[in-house]
Amino acid sequence: MTATRIDGKVFAAQVREQVARHVATLKDQHAITPGLAVVLVGEDPASQVYVRSKGKQTVEVGMKSVEHRLDADTSEAELLALIAHLNADDSIHGILVQLPLPGHLNEDLVINAIDPAKDVDGFHISNVGLLGTGQKSMVPCTPLGCLMLLRDHHGSLSGLSAVVIGRSNIVGKPMAQLLLGDSCTVTIAHSRTRDLRDVVRQADIVVAAVGRAQMVPGDWIKPGASVIDVGINRIEAPEKGAGKTRLVGDCDYDSCAQTAGAITPVPGGVGPMTIACLLANTVTACCRANGLDEPKGLTA
């Protein structure tokens, strides 16, 4: 079997188009422009790239983009004051504090200072609790993107068995909650899981969110299963020349594609969905704040 390649780039472009259409309607019919504020503390190069990309795509879909770049030695009090200011600003519907924060800042304290209604990353403890109890919440972007890809491929996920490899608060746990919400039978695997191969082999859906290059080989995959590869790992690529590198996922794409029914590539799979879902969450937050209908298909 050769798996269907689930193209996250194409799907993310469709999500952005849908967001852009909704933004245009909000502007035309209600004179509201959704606004997203991104806060970056310090100069982590990867974070700078993400923040630039988020700002660019926010503007492209017609939303207001505000960036706050703070020095690495910004105090917790200064950061909390900025968040309080953004919480009170009616033109801002989404607030994202780029993680990781410098070590002297308490991430939990900072994230929980964001108004949960504006917490477009879905990391606030209130949103975690709402998701866990099956209530309307802001859903973390990467798992939401994975869910959209799976729903698009399968239609209904009801009754399917799913294994999520990884139990982080930002990917693994919310992913498992979302799959449970769609009536999958869910197993969460992690570094202490015994016989991981046998666990994975049972699954109709495998979501790998570990951060270990190509750790899942094709012979772990049940024939016909869907493989969603969240991992982003940089490895050496001598075939491209001395000192060159390339990105790979947590799954060995070539062998998994021989067994799976469908699989996301890395890059070009889950990655592009993350920012698209951030935009989707911002428009959803804006609609909720104004008591308007939410766009269909852009939330869990």
CB-nearest residue to ligand NDP: 168
Residue 129 parent element (H or E): helix 125-132
Q: Residues near 282 by Cβ (< 8 Å), separated by ≥ 6?
A: 34, 35, 36, 58, 63, 93, 94, 120
Residue from 142, 259, 284, 299 that binds ligand NDP (CB under 6 A)? 142
Per CB under 6 A, 172 contacts ligand NDP = yes
List beta partners, residue 206: 163, 227
Per CB under 6 A, 259 contacts ligand NDP = no
Per CB under 6 A, 263 contacts ligand NDP = no
Is 54 one of the annotated active-site residues of the chain?
yes
User: Nearer to ligand NDP by C-beta: 117 or 213?
Assistant: 213
Is 98 one of the annotated active-site residues of the chain?
yes
Residue from 211, 247, 268, 292 that binds ligand NDP (CB under 6 A)? 211
Catalytic residue (one of 121, 182, 204, 250): 121
CA angle 20, 289, 58 (to 5 degrees): 30
User: Nearer to ligand NDP by C-beta: 197 or 244?
Assistant: 197
Residue from 117, 180, 196, 289 that binds ligand NDP (CB under 6 A)? 196
Residue from 40, 110, 225, 270 that binds ligand NDP (CB under 6 A)? 270
From residue 268, how far is each of 13, 51, 72 by CA, in Å?
A: 12, 19, 31
Query: φ, ψ for residue 94 (rounded to 5)?
Result: -135, 140
Longest CA pairwise span in the chain (Å) = 57
Q: Is 212:231 a contact under the CB 8 Å cutoff?
A: yes
Least separation in angstroms between CB 13 and ligand NDP: 16
DSSP for 139-153 reads: PPHHHHHHHHHHHHH
Per CB under 6 A, 32 contacts ligand NDP = no
Catalytic residue (one of 98, 115, 204, 250): 98
Q: Is 263:5 a contact under the CB 8 Å cutoff?
A: yes
Q: Please identify, among the stretches 73-81, 105-113, 151-159, 205-213, the one whose residues bind ligand NDP according to the rule CB under 6 A.
A: 205-213
Instruction: List the structure tokens of 152.
Output: 């698009």
Q: Is 15:295 a contact under the CB 8 Å cutoff?
A: no
Is 14 one of the annotated active-site residues of the chain?
no
Per CB under 6 A, 35 contacts ligand NDP = no
Active site amino acids? 54, 98, 121
Q: Which residues bind ligand NDP (CB under 6 A)?
A: 142, 165-168, 170-172, 189-193, 196, 209-212, 230-233, 270-271, 274
